[in-house]
């Protein structure tokens, strides 16, 4: 089902299970098995999927692990067992005790491809729980596709997605915890990022409620031509779709945003 020109993507939209790492790993394995059976090459899960997002600074500090910690080891074993790449959100304990809102991409052999720390922290909620990531955007190869990562609020700033596209990204995976009241972002902004940066954007959100937050669902896969598959606002669901390189090639040929972009001033270019 997957080929050099196609990639089957699964998104798991679900309610968060705060503080239940074991339960979330069990859900991850069940969804990975189902997605793999349906031909998916990669499964994308929401922001901070492993622990829950709105869990407070004390819990984040207590549950945070390094990128190669126990959560990653278990996720790697699931990836190997099911033969599917995984992209999931988790609290990462980094240098000097700093904790980051991170997303990790493992290949189908359970090997780490990318570990990304959220750069754009959202309000007090993020800033009280996490340190700001400052690494430059990176791209990795997944099943013959160039892939980059962002997390939730990052996608609302066009610069990050564009830098990934300029670095060669054909697909951007976005674990998300977007709240009710911001449906516009889920339905319009994400689609615009795919169009203006000429890449596919896969956006996996929570639904339901968590400690006073209500999530808006509306997970989606958005194409550079304006194509879009969108999930519901309220339902837990495993969404699957196939992206294809001919759409990407055609869109980049017909939409010259990336090649026409000018960042220098007239004086610099003269």
Positions marked active-site: 47, 118, 152
C-alpha span between 90 and 71 (Å, rounded) = 8
For 60-83, the DSSP string reads: HHHH-B-TTSHHHHHHHHHHHHHT
Give first-to-last CA distance, the chain, whole Å: 50
CB 157 within 8 A of CB 192: no
State phi, psi for 53 to the nearest 5 degrees: -95, -55
Query: What does the chain come to in residues?
Result: 270
CA dihedral 16, 22, 25, 30 (to 10 degrees): -90
E-strand stretches of the chain: 6-13, 42-44, 85-93, 99-106, 112-117, 139-142, 145-149, 171-175, 200-204, 207-210, 213-216, 220-222, 228-230, 237-244
CA angle centred on 49, ends 45 and 52, rounded to 5°: 150
């Amino acid at each position: 089902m997957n080929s050099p020109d196609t990639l089957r993507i699964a998104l798991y939209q679900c309610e968060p299970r705060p503080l239940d790492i074991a339960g979330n790993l069990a859900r991850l394995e069940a969804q990975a098995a189902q997605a793999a059976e349906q031909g998916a090459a990669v499964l994308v899960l929401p922001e901070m999927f492993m622990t829950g997002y709105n869990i407070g600074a004390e819990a984040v500090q207590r549950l945070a692990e390094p990128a190669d910690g126990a959560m990653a080891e278990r996720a790697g074993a699931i990836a190997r067992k099911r033969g599917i790449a995984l992209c999931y959100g988790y609290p990462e304990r980094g240098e000097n005790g700093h904790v980051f809102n991170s997303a990790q991409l493992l290949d189908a052999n359970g090997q780490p491809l990318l570990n990304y720390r959220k750069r754009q922290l959202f309000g007090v909620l993020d800033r009280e729980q996490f340190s700001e990531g400052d690494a430059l955007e990176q791209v990795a190869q997944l099943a013959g596709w160039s892939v980059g990562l962002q997390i939730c609020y990052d996608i609302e700033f066009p610069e990050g997605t564009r830098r990934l596209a300029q670095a060669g990204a054909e697909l951007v995976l976005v674990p998300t915890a977007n709240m009710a009241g911001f449906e516009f972002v889920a339905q319009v902004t994400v689609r615009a990022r795919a169009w203006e940066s000429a890449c596919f954007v896969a956006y996996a959100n929570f639904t339901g409620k968590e400690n006073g937050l209500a999530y808006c669902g509306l997970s989606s896969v958005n194409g550079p031509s304006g194509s879009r598959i969108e999930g519901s606002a309220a339902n837990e669901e495993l969404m699957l779709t196939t992206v294809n390189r001919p759409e990407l090639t055609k869109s980049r040929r017909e939409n010259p945003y990336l090649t026409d972009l000018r960042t220098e001033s007239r004086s610099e270019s003269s």
